[in-house]
C-alpha cells in the first residue's frame, strides 16, 4: 500500500492506494470516531462492495446506513441529491455522522455535495471504485451536480477527510470504464509530467490488462500530480484550471449528446484532441505531437473524433463553461507535451477551424 497526503494545512488528508484495502478497518477508523455513518452508493456498486464495506465497519463497531441511488450520469442532479437528504433526515443523521461515498465519480461528486450542504457540512470519506474516481474525482474536493444547461454547474469545494482507493475493485470494472479512467491519467502526463506520458506510451498494454503493479503506479503517480496541484491552488484561481485539459470541449460533448451517452472520460479524450488541434493551429505544437497524443488515446480504446454537434452548438455549450471570464471562453492548451497553459484569447477563426476539422469528420 502507498499513502500520499494532500497538503492543505489543518484540512490535509491521506490517500491510501493498494490491494485489499476495503477490508482494512484500521485505515478507516481515524475518520470514524462515532458509531454511525451513512454510505452513499449506486445500484451497480451496491451488490459488489456494499456488504464488504459494512462488514469492515461492523468490525470497528460502526453501523452504516446504506443510501443506494440509481446508477448513471443522467441521475447526477438535484432530484437524486434530494434522495440523499431524505435518507439522512429520515435516519436522523447528525452533524458528526460521516458520509462515505462508495462508487465512481458520479457518486463521489453527489455524496460530496450532500456532505458539504447537509446541516451545513458533515465529515466526508471517499472510497472510489472506478479508475477515474481513484485518479481524479475523489481527490481535491470538487463536488456537485449537473444542471440541464451545463455540466457540474452547481457545487462546492469540500475536501474529504480520507481517500481509500482499493485497486481490487477495478477487477469488476467494464473495459470502457477502465479506458475512461485512463483518459484522466493521460491528462496528467500531458499537462505537467512528460516522463509519465512516456511511461504510459510504454505501459499502456499492462494498464489495459489490469496488471496490478502498473495500475498501482499509474494511480499513485496521478494522485501525486493532482495532490500537488490542489495543494498549490485549491480553489482554482490559477494552476488548477490546467486539470481541465480537454474538459471545455469534453463537457460540451457530454451535455450536447445527453448526459450518460458519452462517458466523461470519452468526452475528455475527444476534447483533448480538439485542444491539441487548437494548440497546433496556434503554432505551439507540431502535427507529429498531435498524432502522438491521438495514438496514445487510441491505444487506450478511447474516441479521438468528437461528435458533430455543429460549431454553433459547441460555442453555445462552451459559453457556459466555468472558466468563462468576461464572456470569453478560456481554453487549456498545450505549449508542448508535458506543459499546458490557460489561453483566454484564442482567435475565433482558429477555434472555428478546430470545430470544423475535429467533429465527426476529416483532417483539417
Ligand atoms: P461513474 O461514477 O458513472 O461510474 C461509472 C460506472 O461504473 C457506473 O455505472 C458505476 O456504477 C460503475 N462502477 C463503479 N465502480 C465499479 C466497479 N468497481 N465495478 C463495476 N462497476 C463499477 O463514472 P466515473 O467515470 O467514475 O465518474 C465520472 C464523473 O466524475 C462525472 O460526473 C465527472 O463530472 C466526475 N468528475 C469529477 C471530478 C472532480 O474533481 N470532482 C473529476 C473528474 C470527473
Ligand atoms: N478534475 C478537475 C479538478 O479537480 O480540478
Q: Was domain 2-172 assigned CATH 3.40.50.1970?
A: yes
Topology given in CATH for the domain delimited by 175-360: Dehydroquinate synthase-like, alpha domain (1.20.1090)
How buried is residue 47: exposed, middle or buried, by Cβ count under 10 Å (0-12/13-18/19+)? exposed
Q: From 159, 231, 227, 160, select the one nearest 193 (Cα to Cα).
A: 227
Q: Across the chain, what does the average pLDDT equal?
A: 95
Say how far apart CA 356 and CA 327 lie, in whole Å: 22
Q: Quick check: 170 and 210 in contact, CB under 8 A? A: yes
Q: Which of 15, 240, 251 to mutate to test the pocket of ligand 2 (most atoms within 8 A of CB)?
A: 240
Give tens-digit pLDDT for 306-327.
999 999 999 999 988 787 888 8
For residues 363 and 325, the model is more confident at 325
Q: Which of 15, 106, 136 to mutate to test the pocket of ligand 2 (most atoms within 8 A of CB)?
A: 136
The residues spanned by each domain of the chain are 2-172, 175-360
> Is the pTM for the entire model greater than 0.75?
yes
Report the percentage of the chain scoring pLDDT > 90: 92
In the predicted structure, residue 48 carries a pLDDT above the cut 80:
yes
Q: Which amino acids bring their CB within 6 angstroms of ligand 1?
A: 42, 44-45, 48, 71, 73, 76, 103-107, 109, 129-130, 132-133, 136-137, 140, 142, 152, 169, 172-173, 177, 180, 264-265
Distance (angstroms) between ligand 1 centre and the Cα of 27 equals 23
- Residue 73 is classified by DSSP as G
Provide the pairing of β-strand 339-343 with 331-336: antiparallel
Mean pLDDT of all residues in 302-309: 95
Which residue's CA lies nearest to atom 2 of ligand 2?
Answer: 243
Q: Quick check: 32 and 56 in contact, CB under 8 A? A: no
In the predicted structure, residue 13 carries a pLDDT above the cut 90:
yes
pLDDT of residue 320: 81
Q: Quick check: 165 and 17 in contact, CB under 8 A? A: yes
pLDDT of residue 362: 43
Alpha-helix runs per DSSP H in the chain: 25-28, 51-58, 78-90, 105-117, 131-132, 175-192, 194-208, 212-232, 247-256, 264-281, 287-299, 311-318, 348-358
Which residue's CA lies nearest to atom 32 of ligand 1?
Answer: 106
pLDDT of residue 63: 97
Distance (angstroms) between ligand 2 centre and the Cα of 152 equals 11
Q: Over the Cα atoms of the chain, what is R_g?
A: 20
Say how far apart CA 174 and CA 104 lie, in whole Å: 12
Helix, strand or coil for residue 301? coil
Task: Write the CB contacts of 142 (distance below 8 Å, at least 6 apart in sequence).
Answer: 109, 112, 152, 155, 157
Q: Quick check: 107 and 42 in contact, CB under 8 A? A: yes
Q: Which of 73, 132, 222 to mutate to test the pocket of ligand 1 (most atoms within 8 A of CB)?
A: 132
Give the CA distances from residue 271 to residues 224, 265, 278, 304, in Å, rounded to whole numbers and listed in that order: 24, 9, 11, 8
State the sign of the Cα–Cα–Cα–Cα dihedral 66, 258, 237, 274.
positive
pLDDT of residue 360: 63
In the predicted structure, residue 361 carries a pLDDT above the cut 60:
no
Distance (angstroms) between ligand 2 centre and the Cα of 61 equals 35
Which residue's CA lies nearest to atom 3 of ligand 2?
Answer: 243
> Which residues does the annotation mark as catalytic?
120, 142, 184, 226, 236, 240, 244, 247, 251, 264
pLDDT of residue 363: 45
Ligand nearest to the CA of 108: 1
Nearest-10 Cα torsion for 296, 221, 19, 137: -80
In the predicted structure, residue 268 carries a pLDDT above the cut 50:
yes
Mean pLDDT of all residues in 92-103: 97
Amino acid at each position: 500500500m502507498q499513502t500520499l497526503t494532500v497538503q492543505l494545512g489543518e484540512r490535509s488528508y491521506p490517500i491510501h492506494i493498494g490491494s485489499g484495502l476495503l477490508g482494512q478497518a484500521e485505515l478507516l477508523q481515524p475518520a470514524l470516531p462515532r458509531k454511525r455513518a451513512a454510505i452513499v452508493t449506486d445500484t451497480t456498486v451496491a451488490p459488489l462492495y456494499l456488504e464488504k464495506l459494512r462488514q469492515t465497519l461492523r468490525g470497528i463497531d460502526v453501523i452504516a446506513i446504506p443510501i443506494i441511488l440509481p446508477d448513471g450520469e443522467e441521475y447526477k442532479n438535484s432530484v437524486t441529491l434530494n434522495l440523499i437528504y431524505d435518507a439522512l433526515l429520515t435516519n436522523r443523521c447528525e452533524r458528526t455522522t460521516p458520509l462515505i461515498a462508495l462508487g465512481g465519480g458520479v457518486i463521489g461528486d453527489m455524496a460530496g455535495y450532500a456532505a458539504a450542504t447537509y446541516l451545513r457540512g458533515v465529515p466526508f470519506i471517499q472510497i472510489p471504485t472506478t479508475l477515474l474516481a481513484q485518479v481524479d474525482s475523489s481527490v481535491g474536493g470538487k463536488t456537485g451536480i449537473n444542471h440541464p444547461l451545463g455540466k457540474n454547474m452547481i457545487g462546492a469545494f469540500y475536501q474529504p477527510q480520507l481517500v481509500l482507493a482499493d485497486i481490487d475493485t477495478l477487477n469488476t470494472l467494464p473495459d470502457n470504464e477502465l479506458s475512461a479512467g485512463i483518459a484522466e491519467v493521460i491528462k496528467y502526463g500531458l499537462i505537467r509530467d512528460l516522463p509519465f506520458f512516456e511511461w504510459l506510451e510504454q505501459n499502456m498494454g499492462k494498464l489495459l490488462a489490469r496488471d496490478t503493479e502498473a495500475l498501482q503506479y499509474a494511480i499513485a503517480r496521478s494522485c501525486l500530480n493532482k495532490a500537488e496541484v490542489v495543494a498549490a491552488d485549491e480553489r482554482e484561481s490559477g494552476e488548477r484550471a490546467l486539470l481541465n485539459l480537454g474538459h471545455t470541449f469534453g463537457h460540451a460533448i457530454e451535455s450536447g449528446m445527453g448526459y450518460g451517452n458519452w462517458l466523461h472520460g470519452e468526452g475528455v479524450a475527444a476534447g483533448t484532441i480538439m485542444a491539441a488541434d487548437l494548440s497546433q493551429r496556434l503554432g505551439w505544437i507540431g502535427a507529429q505531437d498531435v498524432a502522438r497524443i491521438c495514438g496514445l488515446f487510441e491505444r487506450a480504446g478511447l474516441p479521438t473524433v468528437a461528435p458533430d454537434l455543429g460549431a454553433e452548438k459547441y460555442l453555445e455549450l462552451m459559453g457556459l463553461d466555468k472558466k468563462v471570464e468576461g464572456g470569453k471562453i478560456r481554453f487549456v492548451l498545450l505549449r508542448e507535451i508535458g506543459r499546458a497553459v490557460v489561453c483566454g484569447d484564442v482567435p475565433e477563426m482558429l477555434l472555428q477551424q478546430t470545430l470544423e476539422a475535429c467533429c465527426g469528420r476529416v483532417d483539417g
